[in-house]
Amino acid sequence: MIRTGYKQKLTVVKKVEFGIYLAEEGSGESADERVLLPASRVPEGTRIGSELEVFVYRDSEDRQIATLSEPALMIGGLARLKVVQVTRIGAFLSWGLEKDLFLPYAQQTYKVSEGDEVLVTMYADKSDRLCAKMDVYKSLEDSSPYKKDDTVVGTLYLISENFGAFVAVDDRYSALIPRKEMFGAAEKLVPGQKVTARVAKVMDDGRLQLAVRDKGYVQRNEDADRILKMLEDAGGRLDFYDRSDPELIKERTGMSKNEFKRAVGKLLKEDRITIGDGTISLR
């Protein structure tokens, strides 16, 4: 069976004026068991019985066609491709072949623009047409060479309200920034951005759990500096303190209540703030 979206070795079974027909060795020569390699792409010296390794896709008229060109992506693989056009039905990506690869709106995890480079995988739709999609979760590898506390860089490709931010480390390995961890990020996390993070845990299945904040005392110092900056911007006084509602603290500072209390404790110990009735003030 000749499969769209894959490289495969096929045998020349017929030569015509406009090219050669290829088929699997031992198969029949009916139209649905062979594929055309256009004459302009046929290597010199090719004859009946020659074996060629080709990539099979569909042309602009949805006919299977063979090429000796090397595509940037095959079904199930991963590649970072450039957006060359955005239309009312979706985007088109450059991937090394004459016909650009279609990225439907339904397969975009965030809005793309012409000139963007996006991490995608490829699949064949119900009509056997090749398409790209940006949810690459199933195409990522589970096991990476990284261990706890390593620093990694990856592409944030999807945000889930239930789970957090899904990241492709090195555009190859599966990782997650848990939802609770996202609140402590120095900037708002958005799909498509490159993130630098620390490996907080290597899960039993090999997937990585990431933290976008530094550990322990480093994070406490950064949180304390953030509170001081907030106090300065607010004229020296904040209308909430370490006993305020956790959701209010999270909304106002991006920190959990425990993180906020640790940072406030540091500032109190250094005698840089005072705590009043529901307030924090600079000394």
Would 268 be classed as within a structural domain? yes
Contact 230, 253 (CB under 8 A): yes
Last residue of a domain, one of 98, 122, 137: 137
**Cα–Cα nearest to 171, from 205, 198, 195, 202:** 195
CATH code of residue 60: 2.40.50.140
Query: How many domains is the chain built from?
Result: 4
Would 148 be classed as within a structural domain? yes
User: Which residue segment(s) compose the domain that 59 sits in?
Assistant: 7-67
Would 1 be classed as within a structural domain? no
Percent of the chain with pLDDT over 70: 93
**Is 163 found in the same domain as 147?**
yes
Q: Which pLDDT tens digit goes with each residue over 238-265? A: 999 888 998 999 899 988 888 888 889 8
* Distance (Å, whole) CA 258 – CA 267: 14
Residues 6+ apart with CB under 8 A from 180: 164, 256
Taking the complete model, does pTM exceed 0.85, yes or no?
no
Q: Which pLDDT tens digit goes with each residue over 88-127? A: 999 999 999 989 999 999 999 999 999 999 999 999 999 8
Would 89 be classed as within a structural domain? yes
How far CA 209 is from CA of 56, 78, 255, in Å, comes to: 38, 21, 19
Q: Which pLDDT tens digit goes with each residue over 25-79? A: 766 566 668 899 999 889 988 989 999 999 999 988 888 999 999 999 999 999 9
**Tokens 């209010």 found at:** 248
How far CA 224 is from CA of 211, 231, 258, 266, 273, in Å, comes to: 19, 11, 13, 7, 11
**Is 204 found in the same domain as 167?**
yes
Last residue of a domain, one of 151, 179, 211: 211
**Is 196 found in the same domain as 147?**
yes
Contact 20, 12 (CB under 8 A): yes
Residue 20 has pLDDT above 80, yes or no: yes
**Is 221 found in the same domain as 205?**
no
Q: Which pLDDT tens digit goes with each residue over 180-239? A: 877 655 457 888 889 889 999 999 999 999 988 655 555 677 888 989 999 999 999 999
**Is 203 found in the same domain as 244?**
no
**Is 102 found in the same domain as 49?**
no
Would 261 be classed as within a structural domain? yes
**Is 207 found in the same domain as 173?**
yes
Would 19 be classed as within a structural domain? yes
CATH code of residue 277: 1.10.10.10
Last residue of a domain, one of 211, 233, 264: 211
Would 72 be classed as within a structural domain? no
**Is 207 found in the same domain as 147?**
yes
